[in-house]
A and B are shown apart, each in its own frame.
Chain A
């Protein structure tokens, strides 16, 4: 009796552990490669909203508020720029402005916005 139970236990456990079929492999959730940037963006928005609220309840002086706000906005802009850089494909429909990171003349791409293209030397900026 005890032998039967023991063998059954071992067999069931091994079958469960080792019997992984191809259809058992879970399909991983699609993960955006820029998820950490999106997270960061969300966090800064949250901080900004929080900052506005704290200012409204009078916990911050006017100068503190302005300085912190500008800093946060700059950081946010940096993150937004990074996101655009990583995934430039679908430009926002409303935004007819060209991508400032791509040279309009030779289509060379750069890491940061430039006044003149490092490839063909022509002016990249259409407006400032």
Chain B
């Protein structure tokens, strides 16, 4: 092997070693991983679908999932172990409990408030116009010219 190529190979292996050791994402790893956040700081994916090259978080995390699964741990147990280690930040979405539940409730609440606002608006706007309606007499006076103008617009 030519030295240049060898050097290159060294560099690239260094780059991709971590990648390779956990490249096989089985369906089981993906299922458990989809509930865990990738905390690499530059993506918003879960451990299950983070596909960034040499990701320094999701790859070791997948290995850990794999080893726990090899020991027969359930998904919940795996998630728990991650939460114990990193805190709730390890979860891909906030848990529905206590203050964190607000993350889920607020959009629903706001939607409800919005609906109430729309209802109120429709109610208020359905009342008869506050300005006095134009009398038939005024209409009669202009009707002829309106019809004429409109006819000319219709080409």
Question: Which residues of A are interface residues toward B (Cβ below 8 A)?
Answer: 45, 48-49, 52, 73-78, 80-81, 100, 113, 128
- Separation of A83 and B69 alpha carbons in the complex (Å): 81
- CB contact between A113 and one of B137, B143, B146, B150 (< 8 Å): that residue: B137
Say whether A73 contacts B137, CB under 8 Å: no
CB within 8 Å for A78 and B146 given contacts A45-B153, A49-B154, A52-B154: no
B124 at the interface (CB under 8 A from A): no
B107 at the interface (CB under 8 A from A): no
Question: Which residues of B are interface residues toward A (Cβ below 8 A)?
Answer: 133-139, 141-143, 145-146, 149-150, 153-154
Q: DSSP class of B's interface residues: helix, strand, loop or mixed?
A: helix
Which of chain A's residues has its CB closest to B142's CB? Answer: A77
- CB contact between B141 and one of A45, A49, A75, A100 (< 8 Å): that residue: A100
Say whether B149 contacts A45, CB under 8 Å: yes
CB within 8 Å for A78 and B134 given contacts A73-B139, A73-B143, A73-B146: yes
- CB contact between A76 and one of B133, B136, B146, B153 (< 8 Å): that residue: B146
Question: Could you say which residues of chain A place their CB within 8 Å of the CB of B145?
Answer: 80
- CB contact between B138 and one of A45, A52, A113 (< 8 Å): that residue: A113
Q: DSSP class of A's interface residues: helix, strand, loop or mixed?
A: helix
Question: Could you say which residues of chain A place their CB within 8 Å of the CB of B136?
Answer: 74
Say whether B138 contacts A48, CB under 8 Å: no
Say whether B142 contacts A76, CB under 8 Å: yes
CB within 8 Å for A49 and B150 given contacts A81-B138, A100-B141: yes
CB within 8 Å for A81 and B150 given contacts A74-B133, A74-B134, A128-B137: no
Say whether B138 contacts A78, CB under 8 Å: yes
Residue contacts A-B, CB under 8 angstroms, 18 given? A45-B149, A45-B153, A48-B150, A49-B150, A49-B153, A52-B154, A73-B143, A74-B136, A77-B138, A77-B143, A77-B146, A80-B145, A80-B146, A81-B134, A81-B141, A113-B135, A113-B138, A113-B141
Shortest CB-to-CB span from A72 to chain B, Å, is 9
